[in-house]
Structure 1
Amino acid sequence: MSIPSVGDQRSQSDQQRKADDVQAMFASIAPRYDLLNRLLSAGIDRGWRRAAAEEALLLHPARLLDVATGTADFALELKRRAPACEVIGSDFVPQMLEIGREKAKAQHLDIRLEEGDALNLPYPDASFDTITCAFGFRNFADYARGLAEFWRVLKPGGRCVILEFPPPAPGLFGSVFRFYFQHVLPRIGGLISGNAGAYTYLPESVLAFPAPQRLAQLMVATGFRTRYRLLTFGIAAVHVGDKL
């Protein structure tokens, strides 16, 4: 058995610190999270979720896991579209999951919402036909490990769908969106949520996230056959990975 180096230990410590910070941040904004999503995206996020849901359900999965499910918006969308599919949502922020359970009850949709770490999913190998992750993947402390966990719990022939904000592309539209993300969004988000730091983190996390081609390469390196497409001039991107 090898002994972790000082560098490895420091990296693990940094990853745990990031995970703890992200968990605390999302717990603090949980009550206003859905409202802010609608306001800050002008409702466009609903269309993005629809596009990702179509990809996720194309192979008619019987059992689906939505990772980093948050308040379960995407998990509920998937259940509405595929009532016969067993949908499980996993997240490491209990406050978000509780709101999701209330929404599921109000909408009379039967989904399971469970606490879990995306980098160490509490499920056996080959447990799911499809795995989804909508706007949560960039918060992972280790992208490669997250993808490895997706691969592990997917059945052969299964599908992984990741919906995420890539860094703004070069050009006029990208520059305008970058200005909005860095200067306008934090002010609005901080005012409504009472946590300005959370909405400073959001643009920082997007700018630090891999470009779509790089994320596709990471998925290919994991073993997925991968494709992606940009949505709304590249504000969002949906990546599809099939486990052959």
Structure 2
Amino acid sequence: MVATEHETQTSPNADSASPLVDKSGSRVQEMFRQIAPRYDAMNHLLSLSIDRYWRWRTVRILRLSASDPVLDTCTGTGDLAIAIAKKAPKNVRVVGSDFCPAMLEIAIKKRRVGTPSETIEFIEADSQSLPFSDNRFQCVTVAFGLRNVTDTDQGLREMTRVCTPGGQVVVLEFSQPRLFGLRQAYGFYFRNVLPRIGQLFARNDKSAYSYLPESVVQFPDGQALADRMTAAGLTDVKFTPMTFGVATIYQGRKPQSTDASASETTP
């Protein structure tokens, strides 16, 4: 959910006649501050709780070892970080970072004594400038937050930078169905139904649930996002659409140092 500057680049998915969505840091941070108390309830309601399944699928593909820590960026209220902690081997440190204090306050309250969530460390941080050293986390994840980062490529570069060589970078994000008919119905729901329901329950004055469909439409998905992950330095990038393409899991591997050396010597 991180953004620090206004978006100035046209997305491959954007309608050239449509104004770019405002992802300035102050706007996004204030928007999420206002909807934080109802954020989880609204997500489950508007997705018919399918978002729980999407996170479960995401955690399943993580190859977690009893070694380096794990980072969940744009962690929001911490659901993915908590799910990762449940799967991670004992004593593996899980960190959740976000730039919205109001969301982190809720994430912290979700930690439960005597459960794997007890030891999760939630910190305030900008995903475009993560406060971690290089090659630190065996897996770096983000769920439904990358599209809110002003500079998508910088966000991906930072995720790659802090990932250990051979480690995973995994993105769970909304996408647009390709099936004719479903795509149109999905678009109608996203643009007309969701904002009205969201506004009724969230009662914020920043039109958070109008921002959601705008940000999804203007965000690259499918091969376009996979190509940007490759450009950020990841290899073996692949993606798996879920629920008819409403959401997609992307995964890539940070090359081992030997991989990089080999590529440099290959004619």
Task: Return the TM-score normalized by structure 2.
Answer: 0.83
The one-letter code matched in structure 1 to 2:103 is M
Large movers: runs of 4+ above 4 Å: 58-61
Higher normalized contact order (CA 8 Å, seq sep 6+, divided by chain length): 2
The one-letter code matched in structure 2 to 1:22 is V
Aligned to 1:162: 171
Q: Please list, as runs of the form range in 1=range in 2, the aligned pairs for 1:135-146 lying within 5 A after superposition.
A: 135-146=144-155
Aligned to 1:104: 111
**1-structure distance, mates of 2:218, 2:114:** 36
Aligned to 2:200: 191
**2-structure distance, mates of 1:124, 1:185:** 40
Q: Is the 8 A contact 2:149 2:155 kept in 1?
A: yes
**SS at the partner of 1:171?**
coil
**2-structure distance, mates of 1:191, 1:111:** 33
Identical pairs, percent: 43
Q: Is the 8 A contact 1:25 1:198 kept in 2?
A: yes
CA deviation digits over 1:35-54, x for unaligned, max 9? 00110000111110011111
Distance 1:61 1:137, change over 3 A: farther
The one-letter code matched in structure 2 to 1:87 is V
CA deviation digits over 1:151-178, x for unaligned, max 9? 1111111100000001343511111111
Q: CA deviation at 1:211?
A: 2.2
Q: Per residue, is there more helix in 1 or in 2?
A: 1
Q: CA deviation at 1:14?
A: 2.3
Distance 1:151 1:129, change over 3 A: same
Q: Is the 8 A contact 1:63 1:87 kept in 2?
A: yes
CA deviation digits over 1:38-79, x for unaligned, max 9? 100001111100111111245666310000000001100111
**SS at the partner of 2:40?**
helix
Q: Is the 8 A contact 1:167 1:208 kept in 2?
A: no
Asked if 1:222 corresponds to 2:232, the answer is yes
**1-structure distance, mates of 2:114, 2:186:** 34
The one-letter code matched in structure 1 to 2:221 is A
**2-structure distance, mates of 1:211, 1:107:** 39
The one-letter code matched in structure 2 to 1:213 is Q
Distance 1:188 1:27, change over 3 A: same
Q: Is the 8 A contact 2:5 2:150 kept in 1?
A: no
Distance 1:218 1:198, change over 3 A: same
The one-letter code matched in structure 1 to 2:100 is V
**SS at the partner of 1:233?**
helix
Q: Please list, as runs of the form range in 1=range in 2, the aligned pairs for 1:166-177 lying within 5 A after superposition.
A: 166-169=175-178, 171-177=180-186
> Root-mean-square deviation (CA), in Å?
1.8
The one-letter code matched in structure 2 to 1:211 is D
Work out which of the residue numbers 38, 42, 47 in structure 2 matches 1:36: 42
**2-structure distance, mates of 1:160, 1:25:** 27
The one-letter code matched in structure 2 to 1:39 is L
Aligned to 1:237: 248
Distance 1:171 1:130, change over 3 A: same
Aligned to 1:7: none
Aligned to 1:126: 135
Task: Return the TM-score normalized by structure 1.
Answer: 0.90
Q: Is the 8 A contact 2:23 2:149 kept in 1?
A: no
**1-structure distance, mates of 2:39, 2:89:** 26
**2-structure distance, mates of 1:68, 1:28:** 17
Q: Is the 8 A contact 2:5 2:25 kept in 1?
A: no
Work out which of the residue numbers 3, 12, 22 in structure 1 matches 2:28: 22
User: After alignment, is 197-206 or 14-23 more displaced?
Assistant: 14-23
Q: CA deviation at 1:191?
A: 0.4
Q: Is the 8 A contact 2:64 2:138 kept in 1?
A: no
Work out which of the residue numbers 90, 115, 123 in structure 1 matches 2:97: 90
**SS at the partner of 2:150?**
coil
**SS at the partner of 1:230?**
strand
**SS at the partner of 1:195?**
coil
